[in-house]
Amino acid sequence: MTAPAHTSVDWVAADWGTSHLRLWPMGTDGVPLERIDSDQGMSRLNADGYEQVLLDLLAPYLAAETALDVICCGMVGSRQGWREAPYAASPCAPPSFDTATLVQTEDPRLRVHVLSGVKQLAPADVMRGEETQIAGVLVADPGFDGVVCLPGTHTKWVSLKDGAITGFSTFLSGELFQLISAQSVLRHTLAGAGWDQAAFESGCQQGAARPESLANALFGLRAGALLEGLDPVAARARASGYLLGMEVEALREDWQGRPVAMVGENEIAQAYATALRLQGASVEILDAQDITLAGLCAARAQMK
């Protein structure tokens, strides 16, 4: 069987994170031939498992006579990943293809490149994958002077000016929320799903105004359920709002008077956008996959 795309593949863009792998085989005309989504993220793989994943997923695109370039960003380049790629030190421009790490594969039909991450020494912080999204943001708007928010379990906030990362910070609010919801004494107080926008916004305001009271506000949800029958969906939204209100408050110096680019359109990104707008921030929402692919394409362009 010959895949229809076989003759026209030029290279492959790969976003390889902790829990997911996304591949875009790119045509010679610069347009993706398809998008391949896989759950073969770093957390499921040993170092010797990555190559086979690519061989399986990219089989229709491999040719005996030439090596197919695969340009990867993300946790694939971490110490626990396929091959550790270095960190550039912030402040810096997003690392270019020049500092990519070539991974030796056993199969000569693959030529895999892992892009560098970025580290910050004071205060200590790291990113892997988000630097490529930052490169994508800068493709669309080279002069962007503001903050990029990359929401997730560990949300990153990256300050940009003159085409460079001037500083960044990671907040594990999403992980805290998951632990509180599923593992704490509040697990019966907070609903597992559902949303109450008013309760969320009220939580945001409280978290911004009284961040030091987090551990009391959380217990108060349990007491509210006990004494007043607080609705579990409202309790969930309020807890989430409290954490995001704190986080947005912590970053006030970064976003005050500057635009925020929110990379992502899912529920978490919408919640962050609400929390920011409540405090008066100006937020533009960008498509995360478009941005990631733009960053990988920028690296490919530097390769030629």
Using CB under 8 A as the criterion, which residues of the chain lie in contact with a second copy when the complex forms? 79, 119-121, 123-126, 154, 169-173, 175-176, 179-180, 183-185, 207-208, 210-216, 218-220, 223-224, 226-228, 230, 243, 246-247, 249-250
Q: Which is nearer to a second copy, 3 or 185 (CB)?
A: 185
What phi and psi values does residue 45 have, to the nearest 5 degrees? -120, 145
Least distance between a second copy and beta carbon 126 (Å): 5
113, 101 in Cβ contact below 8 A? yes
Q: Which is nearer to a second copy, 27 or 224 (CB)?
A: 224
Q: Which is nearer to a second copy, 218 or 271 (CB)?
A: 218
How far is the first Cα of the chain from the last one, in angstroms, to the nearest whole number? 31
Least distance between a second copy and beta carbon 209 (Å): 10
Alpha-carbon gap, residue 123 to 224, rounded angstroms: 38
Q: Which is nearer to a second copy, 105 or 213 (CB)?
A: 213
Surface-to-core class of residue 193, CB atoms within 10 Å of its CB (0-12 exposed, 13-18 middle, 19+ buried):
exposed
Side-by-side strand order, sheet with 155-161: 164-171, 155-161, 146-150, 259-263, 282-286
Q: Which is nearer to a second copy, 136 or 207 (CB)?
A: 207
DSSP string, 2-50: --TTGGGEEEEEEEE-SS-EEEEEEETTSSBS--EEES--GGG--GGGH
How many CA atoms are closer than 13 Å to the CA of 292, on its beta-carbon side?
Answer: 25
Q: Which is nearer to a second copy, 128 or 300 (CB)?
A: 128
Least distance between a second copy and beta carbon 117 (Å): 10
Longest CA span, the chain: 72
Q: Which is nearer to a second copy, 141 or 249 (CB)?
A: 249
Least distance between a second copy and beta carbon 118 (Å): 11
CA 140, 145, 148 angle in degrees (round to 5)?
Answer: 70
β-strands 68-73, 110-114 pairing: parallel
Least distance between a second copy and beta carbon 48 (Å): 22
Least distance between a second copy and beta carbon 18 (Å): 10
Least distance between a second copy and beta carbon 188 (Å): 11
Alpha-carbon gap, residue 258 to 304, rounded angstroms: 35
- Determine the residue type at 107: D
Least distance between a second copy and beta carbon 73 (Å): 18
Alpha-carbon gap, residue 264 to 285, rounded angstroms: 7
Q: Which is nearer to a second copy, 100 or 251 (CB)?
A: 251
